[in-house]
Amino acid sequence: MVDDLRLAASKMTGAERRSFQAEMCLKYCGGSARQTEIVFGWGRKNVQLGLHEKRTGIVCLGLQSVNSGCKKEVFVRGKYPRTTFYFSLFAYLRCSTNRF
Protein backbone atom coordinates (compact mmCIF):
# COMPACT_ATOMS: atom_id res chain seq x y z
CA MET A 1 0.00 0.00 0.00
CA VAL A 2 2.79 2.46 0.89
CA ASP A 3 4.51 1.81 -2.44
CA ASP A 4 1.26 2.47 -4.31
CA LEU A 5 0.75 5.78 -2.52
CA ARG A 6 4.36 6.80 -3.20
CA LEU A 7 3.89 5.98 -6.88
CA ALA A 8 0.67 7.97 -7.05
CA ALA A 9 2.34 10.99 -5.45
CA SER A 10 5.31 10.76 -7.81
CA LYS A 11 2.97 11.16 -10.80
CA MET A 12 1.61 14.46 -9.46
CA THR A 13 3.25 17.87 -9.32
CA GLY A 14 3.03 21.03 -7.25
CA ALA A 15 -0.13 21.86 -5.36
CA GLU A 16 -1.86 18.66 -6.48
CA ARG A 17 0.93 16.56 -4.96
CA ARG A 18 0.95 18.58 -1.71
CA SER A 19 -2.81 18.23 -1.42
CA PHE A 20 -2.57 14.46 -1.89
CA GLN A 21 0.25 14.20 0.63
CA ALA A 22 -1.72 16.26 3.16
CA GLU A 23 -4.75 14.00 2.72
CA MET A 24 -2.65 10.88 3.31
CA CYS A 25 -1.01 12.57 6.30
CA LEU A 26 -4.39 13.26 7.86
CA LYS A 27 -5.79 9.84 7.01
CA TYR A 28 -2.90 7.56 7.96
CA CYS A 29 -0.58 9.59 10.20
CA GLY A 30 -2.93 11.63 12.35
CA GLY A 31 -1.88 14.91 10.76
CA SER A 32 1.79 14.53 11.74
CA ALA A 33 4.13 15.66 8.98
CA ARG A 34 7.05 14.05 10.79
CA GLN A 35 5.29 10.67 10.91
CA THR A 36 4.37 11.03 7.23
CA GLU A 37 8.02 11.66 6.42
CA ILE A 38 8.99 8.44 8.21
CA VAL A 39 6.22 6.27 6.78
CA PHE A 40 6.05 7.51 3.18
CA GLY A 41 9.47 9.10 2.72
CA TRP A 42 7.98 12.42 1.57
CA GLY A 43 9.58 15.72 2.49
CA ARG A 44 8.24 17.07 5.77
CA LYS A 45 8.20 20.67 4.53
CA ASN A 46 6.09 19.72 1.50
CA VAL A 47 3.62 17.88 3.72
CA GLN A 48 3.49 20.80 6.17
CA LEU A 49 2.87 23.21 3.31
CA GLY A 50 0.10 20.95 1.98
CA LEU A 51 -1.50 20.85 5.43
CA HIS A 52 -1.35 24.65 5.67
CA GLU A 53 -2.81 25.03 2.19
CA LYS A 54 -5.63 22.66 3.10
CA ARG A 55 -6.32 24.45 6.38
CA THR A 56 -6.31 27.99 4.93
CA GLY A 57 -7.58 27.29 1.42
CA ILE A 58 -4.73 29.40 -0.02
CA VAL A 59 -2.57 27.56 -2.55
CA CYS A 60 1.07 28.66 -2.78
CA LEU A 61 2.43 29.23 -6.26
CA GLY A 62 5.94 28.07 -6.99
CA LEU A 63 8.22 29.98 -9.29
CA GLN A 64 7.80 27.20 -11.85
CA SER A 65 4.12 28.01 -12.34
CA VAL A 66 4.86 31.69 -12.80
CA ASN A 67 7.73 31.07 -15.24
CA SER A 68 6.13 28.33 -17.32
CA GLY A 69 7.84 29.14 -20.59
CA CYS A 70 5.64 32.16 -21.32
CA LYS A 71 6.89 35.69 -21.45
CA LYS A 72 7.03 36.47 -17.77
CA GLU A 73 5.53 39.92 -17.87
CA VAL A 74 2.62 38.98 -20.14
CA PHE A 75 1.83 35.78 -18.22
CA VAL A 76 1.88 37.36 -14.77
CA ARG A 77 -0.01 40.49 -15.75
CA GLY A 78 -2.66 38.55 -17.63
CA LYS A 79 -3.22 35.73 -15.18
CA TYR A 80 -2.49 37.41 -11.84
CA PRO A 81 -3.39 41.11 -12.14
CA ARG A 82 -3.88 41.64 -8.40
CA THR A 83 -0.50 40.07 -7.63
CA THR A 84 1.11 42.25 -10.28
CA PHE A 85 -0.42 45.34 -8.70
CA TYR A 86 0.88 44.49 -5.22
CA PHE A 87 4.37 43.65 -6.51
CA SER A 88 4.43 46.94 -8.41
CA LEU A 89 3.30 48.83 -5.32
CA PHE A 90 5.90 47.08 -3.18
CA ALA A 91 8.66 47.86 -5.69
CA TYR A 92 7.57 51.48 -5.88
CA LEU A 93 7.55 51.88 -2.11
CA ARG A 94 10.93 50.12 -1.74
CA CYS A 95 12.59 52.19 -4.45
CA SER A 96 10.93 55.49 -3.73
CA THR A 97 13.22 58.23 -2.49
CA ASN A 98 10.32 59.83 -0.62
CA ARG A 99 10.22 57.73 2.54
CA PHE A 100 7.29 58.20 4.88
pLDDT value of residue 85: 78
Task: Find all residues with CB under 8 Å of 88, minimum gap 6, and list them.
Answer: none
pLDDT tens column, 17-66: 999 999 999 999 999 999 999 999 999 999 999 999 999 888 887 666 55
pTM score: 0.62
3-22 confidence digits (pLDDT tens) = 888 889 888 888 899 999 99
Q: Could you tell me the sign of the dihedral formed by the alpha carbons of 34, 36, 39, 42, in that order?
A: negative
> Are residues 84 and 73 in contact, defined by beta-carbon separation less than 8 angstroms?
no
